[in-house]
Amino acid sequence: MKIKLVSQEKKSVFIAGIIFFLLLSVFSVSQSQHVLKLSVKDSPNFSRIIIEASFPLSFGFEKRSSYLKVRIGADVAFRIKRDPFYSRLIRSLSWSKERDDYILTIRTKSRDFNYDYFTVLDPPQLVIDFSPLGEGSSEARAGLKRKEDLDRRINSSSSSRSPSEKESLSSLRGIKTIVIDPGHGGLEPGAKGRYGTLEKDITLAVSLKLRDIIEQKFGFRVVLTREKDVEISLENRAAKANNNKAYLFISIHTNSSYRKDAHGPETFFLSSEATDEEARKLAYLENNPAEIKEGITGESEDEIAMILWDLAQSAHLKQSSLLAESIQKELNSLFRTRNRGIKQAPFKVLTGVACPAVLVEVAFISNSDEERNLLQENFQREIAQRIYQGLVNFIELYSQE
């Protein structure tokens, strides 16, 4: 009888141990699994979908008829948590998987709708606003939310600053729009590499990646002067920045030189006088893409000088210099090049831009090694990441000026 009781006791302990192990395993899995939470909220004039994650988000959009597809990329596995909802604009939400991406299909109750979005950094959120066509987009609300998010980040990072530093930080709260200018396009291909690579294709690829990084990580509104292979005049590029009330303007280019050993990045801001002869020639080629084979004439320089300093850019040269220096430092680190300093040249695309503005020659397309690198998506993304980091550093420097 005693032996039987001991056997039952051991059996009970064994079963309890298994249960404890299973519960511990379930708890551990639930704690380590990432969550993506989905919620829908209605307001009088729009409906808002909030995608909140416990991990960084990457995303893209595709609108078709009454559907909006959101392609979400993630480096981690996650489970989806969705609250029940009723919305006057949103009919249904559904999920699917395509290769490494998750697809959120948002079905609206009418095909006549506008949508806009913004991001929040902490916690990572993608917020999409839907409004009926004809009632205006939610851009103003999105801009306000981005501004509030920037204010929160600035305030949290400046609690220990002096009153003068805090006062200068207040100017950052006006930043809403960054304009990125992919150089050349359409019938103006720009420089051409030894293997046939065209400057206009590289600048667009880098600019698109830079836009995505800024929107995802910073939550600013980003406008591109072109989003496809089209020709845009230098004057219209500046006009697009001013019409969108840009606070920063970044023009992306690739460099070219007759010197075979020329390599690495160069960042410029505006000046009536070029830093050196090479900078002067580069400015001429960028200003006159159809006249590459002609020499630099005094007449062309006089024309630039006449229109240069009567425009608004002269009021922002100090900030432009800071932005150029910050971006150049990050690109030097990527290319492992010595710091040649920032340069100045009379680039037409920078004249008339009423905000801090720089032109970035990301690499020499005439250098066969750099040309091969520029064709790689990972390298393009790394360039975009370094320019973005330079932008972040510039904001920190700006607060101290």
Q: Which of 147, 176, 144 is nearest to 247 (CA)?
A: 176
Spatial distance between the Cα atoms of 144 and 22, rounded to a whole number of angstroms: 48
pLDDT tops 90 at residue 311? no
Spatial distance between the Cα atoms of 101 and 37, rounded to a whole number of angstroms: 17
In the numeric block, which tokens belong to residue 173?
């709260």
CB proximity list for 56: less than 8 A, separation 6 or greater: 75, 124, 216
| Averaged pLDDT, 282-289 | 50
Identify the band that residue 361 occupies on the pLDDT scale cut at 50, 70 and 90.
Answer: very high
Chain centroid, CA 49 distance in Å: 22
By residue count, the chain amounts to 401
Identify the band that residue 22 occupies on the pLDDT scale cut at 50, 70 and 90.
Answer: low
Is the Cβ–Cβ distance between 116 and 129 less than 8 Å?
yes
Q: What order of strands is seen across the sheet that includes strand 343-345?
A: 221-224, 177-182, 248-255, 357-364, 266-270, 343-345
CATH of 175-398, one of 3.10.129.10, 1.10.10.60, 1.10.1060.10, 3.40.630.40: 3.40.630.40
For CA atoms 153, 390, 399, 215, the dihedral sign is: negative
Spatial distance between the Cα atoms of 401 and 319, rounded to a whole number of angstroms: 9
CB proximity list for 268: less than 8 A, separation 6 or greater: 279, 283, 324, 342, 343, 344, 345, 347, 350, 358, 359, 360, 361
In the numeric block, which tokens belong to residue 184?
């050349």
What is the signed CA dihedral for 132, 136, 139, 142, rounded to 10 degrees?
A: -50
Residue with more model confidence, 342 or 353: 353
Query: Integer distance in angstroms from the first to the last C-alpha of the chain?
Result: 88
Spatial distance between the Cα atoms of 90 and 119, rounded to a whole number of angstroms: 20
Q: Which of 400, 262, 382 is nearest to 318 (CA)?
A: 400
Residue with more model confidence, 39 or 13: 39
The pLDDT, as a whole number, for residue 178 is: 93
pLDDT tops 70 at residue 39? yes
| DSSP-based three-state secondary structure for 218 | coil
Topology of the domain covering 33-137: Immunoglobulin-like (2.60.40)
Average pLDDT of the residues of the chain: 75
* Crossing angle (nearest 10°) for helices 277-287 and 298-308: 80
| Averaged pLDDT, 25-34 | 52
User: Within 10 Å of residue 11's Cβ, how many Cβ atoms?
Assistant: 10
For CA atoms 349, 285, 394, 308, the dihedral sign is: negative
| pTM reported for the whole predicted model | 0.54
Spatial distance between the Cα atoms of 50 and 82, rounded to a whole number of angstroms: 10
The pLDDT, as a whole number, for residue 293 is: 39
Each domain of the chain, given as residue ranges in start order, spans: 33-137, 175-398
Kindly report which listed range (14-23, 218-227, 372-381) carries the lowest average pLDDT score.
14-23
